[in-house]
Structure 1
Amino acid sequence: MLESPETVVNYYDSDFDYYEEEGIRQQVSGAYANIERVLRDKEAIYDITPREFEELVAEVFSQQVYNVEITPATRDGGCDIIATKEISGIPYMILIECKKCSARHKVDVQLVRSLLGVQSDRKANKAIHVTSSLFTRDARQFAERQEHLISLVDINDLMDMMRNAR
């Protein structure tokens, strides 16, 4: 039985904001376009803004069946993206920090240590540091000692993730 238009309207949340929904749709389509652009030309990653980089990373995790939330651009609490999902009914949360920098600028151990502190404070299951460049040897060694608590995703890993997400 079809509902009358008045009844159907009652099903929608009164807090629905068409413009906010449209903004989210534009972010996702922009992130997807940036993924396609970077897959065609790896150097294009250096032409996008830091926020677009965060949106690109969020889209990659979204395509891996995570619910993603991009934190505010400022006062983000030490992470740029919160990715969650349930695994066998158990909630799982990953904090993701994105560092968009030039190809020559490697992410050092200080930033990785800082993210581990945020992960511990927020009681997340895991923290992932994603960069458009590479990590220093010290940063990689530190992350390896943390076993399952923190992972590093450099530009090469990110490219693989984008290819696999297609």
Structure 2
Amino acid sequence: MSNATTWLAAFLTVAALLVYEGTLLLVQQRHPARLAHADLREQWLSALSDHPGSEVLAVQTLRNSLMAATMTASTAALGLMGAVTLAAPSLNSTFGDASSMHFTARLALELVLMMLLFSSLVCSAMAARYYNHAGFICSMPVHSQARQRWAPIGGV
């Protein structure tokens, strides 16, 4: 495969990813799923807060969400470690010898893959942190003053 063909394939791969992400942004502006989900969480917390004894249900529901976010973060971390392991020889040969630095299509795709896996890891870790905090809020007694104070944050 020629160098131009390799770069074209790399460019098309990144372009397909950008088109996909751009389409998601446009669709979400018309019907923002993230906002609908945030509204659902707020209504869920309000409904649970009206019923004493529902703390266990709330904590179990959030525990399930926390486990899903943890699994996603673990998968992204494993993928990132694998990508770094596979890319290490290319990175070492490219950046190890300053006299022969050349930026190849393979190196570009490896860097993009590592960036995407790292951002996935960060987002999943932040989701796990959020669900952990929401679990603390939902486990407070329903009519306690502390829960009333923290409830708006738990539903967001």
Alignment TM-score, normalising by the size of structure 2: 0.21
Larger Cα Rg: Structure 1 or Structure 2? 2
| Structure with a larger share of its residues in helix | 2
Q: Which has the higher contact order (CA 8 A, sep 6+)?
A: 2
| Structure with a larger share of its residues in strand | 1
Alignment TM-score, normalising by the size of structure 1: 0.20
